[in-house]
Chains A and B, each alone.
Chain A
């Protein structure tokens, strides 16, 4: 096969290697899902033996490695071109559809932003595939698991590589489907199956917003292709003032879509439940990649968001509220994965603060560092769960430090990163977000300052609950029962190796985005790399000057106090007594938080019950005539009433239906007459 890099004019280059990036995982899914099971049947019949299990993970990991290789080659080629020309690789596969002025192609776009996303997805994806070999080794449906996982990566790559909103939507829906299949992977447990369903349905609420936002953008700009949208938004003919509410409404609708996928208020409820899936899935889908799709979408559409301060304020405000709200919910979770789930919701809130205040690259920076440390944390939690024989309750852990040293150290390093201790990666990205929130002048005043303090408080909570999880899990006395304690073991090499790599990334990843205040002003690699993508909106965005070092000091002080508080309450006997006393005194608040503010219950009551009641009402009106009189009762009594059946039909329902039709006709005629032409 020949790969050609062809200059198309302007800054666009056609590169036909691009389609291989998503194609490999799709092939992997097809082979694991169709070919191996089929061959397995054949060998069972003719040779009376099964194919070796190794085929499955060799296929899956091989597909991921190939995809990552292709993504890296594309990245290197892109880096080889002068950045000042803002080069973009494109690949037009086929024209998808054309409907009344809208042309949508199956075409990929590989620019600097896509490159970052693709590298995160394929490289972390490949590592998590490797980790899964050990973690899922006892699983019966081994090939089903890897099929879904590869399928997920395929759709995720479509999401980030698609060159238009509709194609992104294909990936958007596809990752939802794959995530739903993986959350419900252990469906024998009905609670887990219903968690999958909840995720899918809550996401559909967001999707409705996405679709509406997309239609409105189309009406405004006449196109949904990213580069054409950018051109239209830049054109002098387009002024946001001409469409005072339509643009903001479209962008807020799209943000609802982002809030669904990225678990923001009020659509975050599915993510904690999604922890029902296997832990590597939580690491890949519900921490590192899929849930960041909303952040990516807004960064991708930066040039339109920059036109609407109102929409940006909504994004940043919801992000800040979510960051704090979810962080407080992390306080009293006892399930180790639930703590990480709420922390993901909270960290995603930070990313939305960044993109909301117009600091696009910072959002992507935090997305990246979060992918490193959160994947490490989840896989560390998975290693603990694996070692503890499927125990997830931190109250039954403690003292694991000596049993699982590698897991402990990697988890600890990643926790330092998320808590924001320099020089770990999370410090640089989180500090930069708070700094930009304070100095940004792009959203409605004085939201920036409020958001800064909310974020700071959330950062304090983060340091607290994350160290709480470290202390409860790894420090102190072991609270496991005798039998379990004997069997605690460090995880196999495939798992610990991945942990080590991720811990390294979580530690050092921050050096890609060094802040300006560091003496000597070292280059900020990531900001520079992403400049071409955000160049268009950069001109209209304002950031004030402030002393960055001061912010860093405040940040670190906040993080340290969070850690010390956690240490006091969870490691010292005095603190533990105090905590117990407070729990008694403030029992109602404690219960409120522990029950996650009763949001699930509220939704169940306000939405699910209401819809159900409405359906039942309609059903009574429209359906019950028949069901009750003929089907349910009728079938049982049909022999009894056989002779009357004809008459019953004539005098019963049909007449009512006919009355309905005639009434409808009367209304119809009346409306037409009233319109009068």
Chain B
């Protein structure tokens, strides 16, 4: 079909330039796949990881050029209206690339420790990153779906990479089966939406709902929205679509868990609010056309409560962090629930929250990864006793992470909670903020338990508390710890970037 290619060639430069970072990541993925085939010696596998980091760094540099003015017209639609390049996309590209780099750093030396003897991990993480970038950049439901699948399929594989471990295989399988169900929801939702409105582009849906008086006019669209919400609620683990989370997070290799909890969740949230705000929302935020705010509020309450109370009785640290990750999706959802009334403040809260949470995730899971070994290592809270004295660096990092997760200033976790709860009060849903604050109160108990074990309890016998020797892992934990405190102390630039990203979504056009 020669015609197809000539059509492509006719596309304007803007379209090609707009996806440059994503294209670089995908190119890196393909290249590393090929290289992995030739690197037989498992001790040299980290070489592939270094190439991957290199590719990601180039993508980040290009993204930086676009952010600082290389892209003249933020928000302009490209690729026949199915994509856009706005500040939100560019900011998220930074986040995804950063998460991928941190995950690779954590994995470089730990991966062989876990008995994962395959070089495919690095191409997979690049593919997943590219998928996220595509998903966030897309403004068309079909394109979003493609991005989502490109992100998800590598994740299914990565979860099961510790093949010798039953838990890992189980994790992968569960995630895959339930993920397929959720993908089915989403695709069905897209189909119904198309059936109702005749379009799949978000701007088209918005036009249709405004002209036709919202959802009430069309039960098909109502069902479509419900299905789309359910599909995304699965990805970001909102109750009652969260049940896979603890099993999958616990079973997956820890660097994959960190990546999922940080990047996948961020990608899911951002895409969800892009769909809701662009597609199902009256611009200029006079009023929401549909009552999704209330639904998200209910899901947020369920998610926070179930996540926190389950974490309370969980003794395995990694599983506790998985439940805590569920709870944090609930806090972020508070901001989303506030978005119909609080506008950019609500969505900005969500965005800042997920970015802050991503940083903290890498600290906490990074420390867990440092002590996770093929046989044994530290897994229960009791195993962390006295770590403050045997491993001061990792224990300090873990303490920072726990305080950040509990929302104690001056960490980034405090600011994130501050932002979303304030949005809820401003949106006149104070009850939701009250439940959120009470929930974060409960959460202090189980976060503190880890700190207490590390500093205020002595190990019963001389426990084996040697971390995996890896300067890359050490560096990843250091970077994310410094950022967790640093962004908490000097959040001006990140907050500015967040506001720059979300405010155009609420400008009257």
Interface residues of A (CB under 8 A from B): 94-102, 166, 169-170, 173-174, 177, 181, 184, 187-188, 190, 193, 196-197, 200-201, 204-205, 207-208, 211-212, 215-216, 218-219, 611-612, 614-616, 618-619, 622-623, 626, 630, 638, 642, 645-646, 649-650, 653-654, 656-658, 660-661, 663-665, 668-669, 671-673, 675-677
Name the one of A187, A190, A611, A660 contacting B243, with C-beta atoms under 8 angstroms. Answer: A660
- With known contacts A190-B457, A658-B178, A677-B290, A664–B240 Cβ distance under 8 A: yes
Is A100 in contact with B230, judged by CB distance below 8 angstroms?
no
Is A660 in contact with B174, judged by CB distance below 8 angstroms?
no
Is A219 in contact with B306, judged by CB distance below 8 angstroms?
no
Name the one of A654, A656, A672 contacting B291, with C-beta atoms under 8 angstroms. Answer: A672
The minimal Cβ–Cβ distance linking A429 to chain B, given in whole angstroms, is: 33
Q: What number of residue pairs across chains A and B have CB atoms under 8 A from each other?
A: 208
Binary interface encoding of chain B residues 41-84 relative to chain A, with 1 for a CB under 8 A from any of its CBs, else 0: 00000000000000000000000000000000000000000000
The minimal Cβ–Cβ distance linking B496 to chain A, given in whole angstroms, is: 8
When C-beta atoms are compared, the residue in chain B nearest to A170 turns out to be B409
Is A97 in contact with B495, judged by CB distance below 8 angstroms?
yes
Is A672 in contact with B425, judged by CB distance below 8 angstroms?
no
Is A99 in contact with B419, judged by CB distance below 8 angstroms?
yes
Is A677 in contact with B444, judged by CB distance below 8 angstroms?
no
Q: Enumerate chain A residues within 8 angstroms of B309, measured Cβ to Cβ.
A: 611, 614-615, 618-619
In the bound assembly, the distance between CA atoms of A207 and B418 in angstroms comes to 13
Is A97 in contact with B492, judged by CB distance below 8 angstroms?
yes
**SS of A interface (majority):** helix
Is A100 in contact with B344, judged by CB distance below 8 angstroms?
yes
The minimal Cβ–Cβ distance linking A244 to chain B, given in whole angstroms, is: 15
Apart from A201-B444, A622-B243, list 4 A-B contacts with CB within 8 A.
A99-B345, A212-B434, A645-B170, A653-B174
Is B292 in contact with A615, judged by CB distance below 8 angstroms?
no
Q: Enumerate chain A residues within 8 angstroms of B314, measured Cβ to Cβ.
A: 619, 623
Is A187 in contact with B491, judged by CB distance below 8 angstroms?
no
10 contacts between A and B (CB under 8 A): A98-B496, A100-B426, A212-B434, A215-B430, A218-B422, A615-B310, A615-B313, A668-B230, A668-B295, A675-B295
When C-beta atoms are compared, the residue in chain B nearest to A181 turns out to be B455
When C-beta atoms are compared, the residue in chain A nearest to B423 turns out to be A100
Is B418 in contact with A99, judged by CB distance below 8 angstroms?
yes
In the bound assembly, the distance between CA atoms of A165 and B69 in angstroms comes to 38
The minimal Cβ–Cβ distance linking A486 to chain B, given in whole angstroms, is: 34
List B308-361 residues whose CB lies under 8 Å from chain A: 309-310, 312-314, 342, 344-345, 348-349, 352
When C-beta atoms are compared, the residue in chain B nearest to A623 turns out to be B310
* 9-residue interface stretch from B107-115, B135-143, B208-216: B208-216
- With known contacts A99-B419, A615-B310, A204–B246 Cβ distance under 8 A: no
In the bound assembly, the distance between CA atoms of A658 and B430 in angstroms comes to 33
The minimal Cβ–Cβ distance linking A83 to chain B, given in whole angstroms, is: 34
Is B215 in contact with A676, judged by CB distance below 8 angstroms?
yes
Is A661 in contact with B456, judged by CB distance below 8 angstroms?
no
- With known contacts A622-B306, A622-B310, A664-B241, A677–B419 Cβ distance under 8 A: no
Q: Enumerate chain B residues within 8 angstroms of A616, measured Cβ to Cβ.
A: 313
In the bound assembly, the distance between CA atoms of A242 and B264 in angstroms comes to 46
Name the one of B239, B310, B456, B491 contacting A196, with C-beta atoms under 8 angstroms. Answer: B456
The minimal Cβ–Cβ distance linking B195 to chain A, given in whole angstroms, is: 15
In the bound assembly, the distance between CA atoms of A656 and B496 in angstroms comes to 44
The minimal Cβ–Cβ distance linking A492 to chain B, given in whole angstroms, is: 30
Is B490 in contact with A94, judged by CB distance below 8 angstroms?
yes
Q: Enumerate chain A residues within 8 angstroms of B422, measured Cβ to Cβ.
A: 99-100, 102, 215, 218
Q: Enumerate chain A residues within 8 angstroms of B217, measured Cβ to Cβ.
A: 677
When C-beta atoms are compared, the residue in chain A nearest to B343 turns out to be A100
The minimal Cβ–Cβ distance linking B422 to chain A, given in whole angstroms, is: 6
* 9-residue interface stretch from B119-127, B435-443, B464-472, B478-486: B435-443
User: B255 contacts the other chain (Cβ, under 8 Å)?
Assistant: no
User: B244 contacts the other chain (Cβ, under 8 Å)?
Assistant: yes
Q: Enumerate chain B residues within 8 angstroms of A100, measured Cβ to Cβ.
A: 342, 344-345, 348, 419, 422-423, 426, 499
When C-beta atoms are compared, the residue in chain B nearest to A192 turns out to be B456
In the bound assembly, the distance between CA atoms of A98 and B225 in angstroms comes to 34
User: B223 contacts the other chain (Cβ, under 8 Å)?
Assistant: yes
- With known contacts A99-B495, A611-B312, A654-B178, A193–B457 Cβ distance under 8 A: yes
Is A677 in contact with B492, judged by CB distance below 8 angstroms?
no
The minimal Cβ–Cβ distance linking A222 to chain B, given in whole angstroms, is: 10
In the bound assembly, the distance between CA atoms of A677 and B415 in angstroms comes to 33
Is B170 in contact with A677, judged by CB distance below 8 angstroms?
no
Q: Enumerate chain B residues within 8 angstroms of A204, measured Cβ to Cβ.
A: 441, 444
When C-beta atoms are compared, the residue in chain A nearest to B290 turns out to be A677
Is B290 in contact with A675, judged by CB distance below 8 angstroms?
yes
User: B116 contacts the other chain (Cβ, under 8 Å)?
Assistant: no
Interface centre among B222, B458, B489 (most CB of A within 10 A): B222
Is A657 in contact with B444, judged by CB distance below 8 angstroms?
no
In the bound assembly, the distance between CA atoms of A279 and B73 in angstroms comes to 65
